[in-house]
Amino acid sequence: MRFWLTIAAGLFLSLGTRANAVDELIGIHMAVMGGAERITALAAIKATGMVTMSGKRVHFTMVAARPNRVRLETEGGGRSLVQAYDGVEPPWEFDTGTWPPKYRRVADGPARRIVADAEFDDPLIAGAARGYTLDYAGEAEAEGRKYRRLLVTHKLVQSFALYLDPETYLIQFRSESHTSAGGRPVNIVTRYSQFQSVDGVLLPHAVTTLVDGKVTQEMVIDRIEPNPVLRPDTFSMPKGITVPQPAAK
């Protein structure tokens, strides 16, 4: 693999100024991840681990499936929260931190974030068919290292940059800018690390989020199960289910 990467890197450097530079970079990236056949065969995953945010740690279980279905369950401090999206209906949640807990739609702001983050594959995998436009922006230096940078636009609405390690051609981090509620520009960086093979496909097992350079969330995955058995209602909001009120004392 290392020898192949050396050959591929030299090839890419020779083609870097050509119009097909993006296609060459996508090809190398997918080959390093495990190849198109293995990537396609990995249609769903079940990940478990811990998330640290604001000094608190919670256990999580995430089930994700192609093309954009996701279910996230977190538990900590006696509270359980389920949030899910079936790719069609609005995202929903069930939160024992509110009483009475009930199945309900997620508020608009968080719902948009869930939908935006629900896609199973990264933007380099069949990106054009999924509404992604990718432009190669050459080498860029960040945190004292040089990376291959791709400028990404999704359906003419969302834009961000992806930075690929020039040695492994895996996505090392994503950078995007948003405007806070007070009108202040905010830079959000998502780092990906600890890549491990899952049924022959390299996936990150650690994801760190930084806002204006400050770490706000760290996710460490203990285990990823490939192609778990999915119930028909894994991602859909249950209908007609109520939670009983506590008995009067």
Q: What are the Cα distances from residue 50, in Å, to 59, 75, 138, 213, 230?
A: 5, 10, 35, 22, 22
| 230-249 residue pLDDT tens | 998 999 999 755 544 444 44
Q: Is the pLDDT of residue 72 over 90?
A: yes
> With contact defined as beta carbons under 8 Å apart, do 174 and 150 qualify?
no
* pLDDT value, residue 158: 83
Average pLDDT across the chain, whole number: 87
* pLDDT value, residue 18: 45
Residue 192, by phi and psi: left (phi above 0), alpha (psi -120 to 50) or beta?
beta
Alpha-helix runs per DSSP H in 16-118: 21-33, 36-41, 108-116
> Residue 1 — pLDDT band, cuts 50, 70, 90?
very low
More confident residue, 249 or 48: 48
Rounded CA separation 47/66 (Å) = 15
Q: Is the pLDDT of residue 103 over 70?
A: yes
Structure tokens at 122: 């990264």
Q: What is the pTM of this model?
A: 0.85
* pLDDT value, residue 48: 97
Q: CB-based contacts of 102: which residues, under 8 Å, 6+ apart?
A: 94, 242, 243
Query: Could you give the angle at which helices 2-15 and 21-33 cross, rounded to 10 degrees?
Result: 170
Percent of the chain with pLDDT over 90: 68
CB atoms within 10 A of CB 213: 7
| 88-98 residue pLDDT tens | 999 999 999 88
Q: What is the mean pLDDT of residues 201-221?
A: 95
More confident residue, 178 or 240: 178
Alpha-helix runs per DSSP H in 83-160: 108-116
| 126-153 residue pLDDT tens | 999 999 999 999 999 887 889 999 999 9
Q: Is the pLDDT of residue 195 over 60?
A: yes
> With contact defined as beta carbons under 8 Å apart, do 145 and 164 qualify?
no
* pLDDT value, residue 21: 85
CA 137-24-154 angle, to 5 degrees, is 55
* pLDDT value, residue 91: 97
Q: What are the Cα distances from residue 195, in Å, to 30, 58, 198, 220, 248?
A: 14, 22, 9, 11, 52
Q: What is the mean pLDDT of residues 207-213?
A: 94
Q: Is the pLDDT of residue 60 over 80?
A: yes
* pLDDT value, residue 248: 42
> With contact defined as beta carbons under 8 Å apart, do 140 and 146 qualify?
yes
Phi, psi of 15 (to 5 degrees): -110, 5
Cα end-to-end distance, the chain, whole Å = 67
